[in-house]
Amino acid sequence: MARTKNFDDNDVIEKATYLFWKNGYGNTSMSALEKTMGINKFSIYASFGNKQGVFLRSLACYKQKLLPIVNKLKNSEQGLQAIRTYFYDSLAIYSRSTPSDEQLASKGCLMTNTRAELKEEKDAIILKEIQDFIDYQSHLFKEKLLIEGLSDVQASKKANYLIIAKQALSAASKVHSKQQLDDFIDVTLSAL
């Protein structure tokens, strides 16, 4: 007779997402996932396959957190102002804390943190998920830059610049003051 789940997948994935976000993929053990998710390894394996399966579901959960700000950027009729707003909205997500950890400082971007940590050959599936999202952001940046009257070539180059700037902002958000981050965003966008 099959066992019935006594947990909600979304609830335990939300918990796992914050654990990965706080500790990184490599530093998150199965026993830490067990403890944080409140379920045993058998249930983790039966529901999600393995640690990578939990992480892929966590990435999907994280993308859902980003969806409102990504859609705001996508649907905006503004150019640079929409990108500026997206950078600030991203900062707000980086520093959002969990209900049980109210004082957690900025964690940066889960995808940027993970991309910096993983190796291509070993973690290709995870890295493809992250790269697809990066490419989508770049596409949106290019669309907004085209609104500003840039040529296709210039918009592509500047979209690439903005992707790197956003990843730098993610890392910087962990150690720099709000004023320094504001200055970084202002200088970055004024350079366009």
Distance CA 144, CA 149 (A): 9
Q: How confident is the model at residue 99 (pLDDT cuts 50, 70, 90)?
A: very low
| 159 inside domain | yes
Assigned domain for 2 exists: no
**3 phi and psi, to 5 degrees?**
-80, 150
135 within a domain of the structure (yes/no)? yes
Q: What global pTM score does this model have?
A: 0.88
CB proximity list for 86: less than 8 A, separation 6 or greater: 69, 70, 72, 73
Q: What confidence score (pLDDT) does residue 106 get? A: 72
d(CA 55, CA 57): 5
Residue 182: domain span: 9-190
Position 1 in a domain: no
pLDDT-based confidence at 123, cuts 50/70/90? confident
Does residue 4 lie within any of the structural domains? no
Per-residue confidence band for 33, with pLDDT thresholds at 50, 70 and 90: very high
Q: What is the token pair recorded at 83? A: 């990108």
**Does residue 96 carry a pLDDT above 90?**
no
**Which pLDDT value is given to residue 161?**
97
The amino acid that residue 1 corresponds to is M
25 occurs within a structural domain: yes
* DSSP, res 78: -
The domain that holds 163 is classified in CATH as: 1.10.357.10
Arithmetic mean of pLDDT, 51-55:
95
What is the percent of the chain where pLDDT is above 70? Answer: 92
Cβ neighbours, 10 Å, residue 167: 18
Is there a domain that residue 86 lies in? yes
pLDDT 10s digits, 130-166: 999 999 999 999 999 999 999 999 999 999 999 999 9
Task: Identify whether 96 is part of a domain.
Answer: yes
Paired tokens of 183: 């200055």
Q: Report residue 102's pLDDT band, with 50, 70 and 90 as the boundaries.
A: very low
For the chain, the domain total comes to 1
